[in-house]
Amino acid sequence: MLLDKYLPRIDFDSYEDFKANYRVSIPADFNFGFDIVDEWAKQEPEKKALVWCDDEGVDRTFTFTDISRLSNQAANYFTSLGIRKGTVVMLILRRRWEYWVCAVALHKIGAILIPGSLQLAKKDLIYRGNSAKIHTMICVDDSYVIEQVDHAQPSVPSIQHKIIVGKSREGWRNFHEEVAAFPETFARPTGDAATKVSDTMIVYFTSGTTGDPKMVQHDFSHPLGHIVTAKYWQQVQENKLHMSVSDSGWAKFGWGKIYGQWICGAVIFAYDMAKFVPTHLLQKMQDYKLTTFCAPPTMYRFMLQEDVASYDLSSIQNFSTAGEPLNPEVFYQWQKLTGKEIREGFGQTEGTVLLANFPWITPKPGSTGKPSPLYDITLLQDDGTPAPDGEHGALVMQNLKKAWPTGLFVGYYQNPEMTQEILGGGSYCPHDVFERDKDGYYWFVGRNDDVIKCSGYRIGPFEVESALIEHPAVVECAITAAPDPIRGQVVKATVVLAKGYTPSPELTKELQNHVKHTTAPYKYPRIIEYVDELPKTLGGKIKRAQIRKADEAAQN
């Protein structure tokens, strides 16, 4: 078991014991490719690493020996193209199994990996390519992706190579055809080519709900921070299948589909779906007999629109969620249908799981749980004083100069000024507002900019959204502040309706009365707009700022 090497102590008696005594040992030369993937291959050559399938009925199983061998070939191939320690490479590979091979290869070389989404347009690629000085693009054979990269390339002079995973295309190197010619062994680099734990391993571009996306920089210790994510929140089990639903272009993939899971010896289950179809996902969950499962709240909500009870999900021992707050009604419906709770967690691209419902905690529906032992977390009021229980406060990670949390980002790539501004004071505030109750549970209120100030009241959007979600007509909704000449701001709900419901003044009144009876009456939405879908970032988060800006523009 590899965990013994990195955790002086693995088992804990209580949350308090876990919070006080969890520690991570970090070797100065830790490299995920060599020290986890190759080490598992040495210790247990037949140990399963990845079970992969797609919509076409293709199914493949990879051992750690397979991943080690294939990543060695890829590392030799990439090296032949001039990719070295510090070279920047972007992967846009959806959920193709080749992502795991390429990522491990790049980690072994010490190259800087940038995951990319399938939805990136030409302007996004130009911005990312020039900001990070991307050297090589490795992309899935997708017509839109290829077209956008081809159109962006003339404006990104740093791009030297374009590699395609799939059928050959003009101007692109074919990954499978070229990599097959390279040796299956790759010696661990030494001297200046060797990686140190403080070297940059991965850079994520933030979702960019406001302003240009920032380049979040993680070093080679980052995978070790995800032991907490995988073992103690998602509760993965060695040699058992874990599924996190995420495209490889997002930090959630790193949270749930590679790092902590493989350190713990779990088998990653990957379903390379071209499009999210709730019944298809439920069928895979049943057929492959998963043990642990994690998905965003939106996916749970849409699965609940189907006949969940007709699928056998009894093999799944732990359900978890992150990405957006989990509405209590979704928690209760899922528990009723499956007999299992959904354990919510909270975090950001900048770190690992910050708050979660850990094994010793009985989840309170709607609460993100309690702080990870990696972080010293507090809530601060506007005047910088600690927020009392029951009061709003900004989430702050403090005492960073005393001990840098394993897995927390180390700065913004190529931007020392912003790094100093955000992290130089010895704390980090992600601008999320929470309340803490008397039992130490944290409750998400909203992003600081999303909190509504109406007639002297401060209203958190999540509470109103949760009230609306309880109504059977509502699948998704976003609560925002709309300008009002008398009150300054009023509560507005932008609503996606469930099957069988159509917009009407009568339904609007019914939803308003429902909120009045579910939460404090002053929080009810005075405006309700019905839409087919909510505006979201490429990472799937609701763009409340976009809704607010549209309403403000309509007023002027």
What tens digit of pLDDT does each residue of 447-492 get?
Answer: 766 777 665 566 778 788 888 998 999 999 999 888 876 666 789 9
* Residue-level pLDDT at 453: 65
What tens digit of pLDDT does each residue of 511-549 get?
Answer: 999 998 888 788 899 999 999 999 887 666 788 888 988
Contact, 377 vs 37, CB < 8 A? no
**Mean pLDDT throughout 174-196?**
98
Confidence class for position 556, pLDDT limits 50, 70, 90: low
E strand spans, 206-328: 215-219, 241-244, 267-272, 292-294, 318-321
3-state secondary structure of 215: strand
* Residue-level pLDDT at 457: 62
What tens digit of pLDDT does each residue of 313-343 get?
Answer: 999 999 999 987 788 889 999 999 999 999 9
Question: Percentage of residues in the chain with pLDDT exceeding 90?
Answer: 79
- From CA 111, how far away is CA 95, in angstroms rounded? 21
Question: What are the phi and psi torsion angles at 484 (to 5°)?
Answer: -140, 130
* Residue-level pLDDT at 75: 98
- From CA 415, how far away is CA 493, in angstroms rounded? 38
What tens digit of pLDDT does each residue of 390-442 get?
Answer: 998 999 999 998 999 999 999 999 999 999 999 999 999 988 889 999 999 99
**Mean pLDDT throughout 200-228?**
88
Tokens of 379: 């809530």
280 pLDDT higher than 80: yes
Q: Please calculate the CA angle 465-492-334 and round it to the nearest 5 degrees.
A: 15
343 - beta bridge partners? Answer: 320
Q: Nearest Cα to 474, choosing from 531, 541, 540, 546?
A: 531
* Residue-level pLDDT at 456: 54
**Mean pLDDT throughout 60-77?**
98
